[in-house]
Amino acid sequence: MDISIVIPLYCEEESLPELSAWIVKVMNENNFTYEVIFVDDGSTDGSWKIIEELSSENPNIKGIRFRRNYGKSAALNCGFAEVQGDVVITMDADLQDSPDEIPELFKMIKEDDYHLVSGWKKKRYDPITKTIPTKLFNWATRKTTNIKLHDFNCGLKAYKKDVVKCIEVYGEMHRYIPVIAKWAGFTRIGEKVVQHRERKFGVTKFGMERFVNGFLDLISISFVSRFGKKPMHFFGLWGTLLFISGAVIAGYLAYAKIFFDSYKMTERPLFFLGLLCMVIGSQMFLTGFIAEMLSRNSPDRNSYHIEGKIGL
């Protein structure tokens, strides 16, 4: 099979018939063998009914239905577990992404040998309250992760099958799939300018809290990618530095007390600074030990992605 298209959706009943007809048209025109996997993320409207109908008319159209709303990352993750095609395309269900981009994305994965190609909505049709924070978000992500993409969170992306079978998308981490992929060793990451359209039906399913959560996730993911398997290297370093600074301050105060009899040393701001440094420093050290114990006991402490073997 050439292509698997994974479409996470939450209450998008109006868009589905048009989207599916458009995808099927593009697939037939290009003679692709394909499957479309709609992942219904606990919709409360008639989305699932429509998916059932579409599937009964065309066996290439498949569906997964969640019992409740778990979020876009969960939907993508379950879709990825089922895909069979050599190239996996993800797209949003709201008709903001155009299926006409699929043949070119397919070519970039198949012929140009990219692991992952991310869409770039260079000209966006979204309200300004979304486009400006998005620019900031993308800038911060580029700086933190060193991946040169303009539009990390574009719903339209293409992957080599290996990529989606290796990575795990959880929480709200769908915004950082290129980061997770790079971290798993898939470094050939490309970008393609894609058409973007205004939302035709319904409303966006993410509120303004997306930006707060997005930045918190960025901090977590860059921390976990650097220190996830060796937390003590972070906590130990900063704990030690803080503790030593505190000890130096305490030493100096003790020296001043003994030799110059400056008896009011507890009134000096420096005294409290020294105390604080020692307390926080030792707490960081303890946090490091606990984190180390957790990571040692985690079930995937020894899970590595093996790309190939010889003679075994």
Residue ranges in contact with Mg ion by CB under 5 A = 92, 94, 96
Sheet architecture: strand order including 189-193: 61-65, 34-40, 3-9, 87-90, 157-160, 116-120, 189-193
178-217 positions binding ligand UDP, by CB under 6 A: 204-206
Q: Is 22 in the site for ligand UDP (CB under 6 A)?
A: no
> Of ligand UDP, Mg ion, none, which one sits near residue 220, judging by CB under 5 to 8 A according to partner kind?
none
Residue with tokens 């009899």: 261
* Identified binder of ligand UDP from the candidate list 9, 19, 147, 177, rule CB under 6 A: 9
Cβ of residue 178: shortest distance to ligand UDP, in angstroms? 16
Q: Is 152 in the site for ligand UDP (CB under 6 A)?
A: no
> Of ligand UDP, Mg ion, none, which one sits near residue 75, judging by CB under 5 to 8 A according to partner kind?
ligand UDP
> Among residues 138 and 274, whose Cβ is nearest to ligand UDP?
138
Sign of the C-alpha dihedral, residues 246, 251, 254, 260? negative
Q: Closest Cα to residue 26, out of 80, 96, 92, 98?
A: 98
Q: Is 227 in the site for ligand UDP (CB under 6 A)?
A: no
> Among residues 8 and 281, whose Cβ is nearest to ligand UDP?
8
Identify the three-state secondary structure at position 150.
coil
Distance between CA atoms of residues 7 and 33, nearest Å: 17
CB 97 within 8 A of CB 119: yes
> Of Mg ion, ligand UDP, none, which one sits near residue 231, judging by CB under 5 to 8 A according to partner kind?
none
Q: Is 41 in the site for ligand UDP (CB under 6 A)?
A: yes
Cβ of residue 43: shortest distance to ligand UDP, in angstroms? 8
Residue with tokens 């926080």: 280
Q: Is 151 in the site for ligand UDP (CB under 6 A)?
A: no
Q: Give the range of 2-10, 57-65, 156-164, 236-244 binding ligand UDP by CB under 6 A.
A: 2-10
Distance between CA atoms of residues 83 and 181, nearest Å: 17
Write the CB contacts of 277 (distance below 8 Å, at least 6 apart in sequence): 242, 243, 245, 246, 249
Q: Is 155 in the site for ligand UDP (CB under 6 A)?
A: yes
Distance between CA atoms of residues 65 and 39, nearest Å: 6
Q: Is 274 in the site for ligand UDP (CB under 6 A)?
A: no
Q: Is 93 in the site for ligand UDP (CB under 6 A)?
A: yes
Distance between CA atoms of residues 87 and 100, nearest Å: 16
Cβ of residue 160: shortest distance to ligand UDP, in angstroms? 22
Distance between CA atoms of residues 182 and 116, nearest Å: 9
Q: Is 10 in the site for ligand UDP (CB under 6 A)?
A: yes
Q: Is 72 in the site for ligand UDP (CB under 6 A)?
A: yes
Cβ of residue 243: shortest distance to Mg ion, in angstroms? 49
> Among residues 72 and 192, whose Cβ is nearest to ligand UDP?
72
Query: What is the number of other CB atoms lying within 10 angstroms of the CB of residue 235?
Result: 21
Write the CB contacts of 163 (distance below 8 Å, at least 6 apart in sequence): 88, 115, 116, 181, 184, 186
Distance between CA atoms of residues 150 and 135, nearest Å: 8
> Of ligand UDP, Mg ion, none, which one sits near residue 41, judging by CB under 5 to 8 A according to partner kind?
ligand UDP
Identify the three-state secondary structure at position 11.
coil
* Residues at the site binding ligand UDP, with contacts judged by CB under 6 A: 8-10, 12, 41, 69, 71-72, 75, 92-94, 96, 155, 204-206
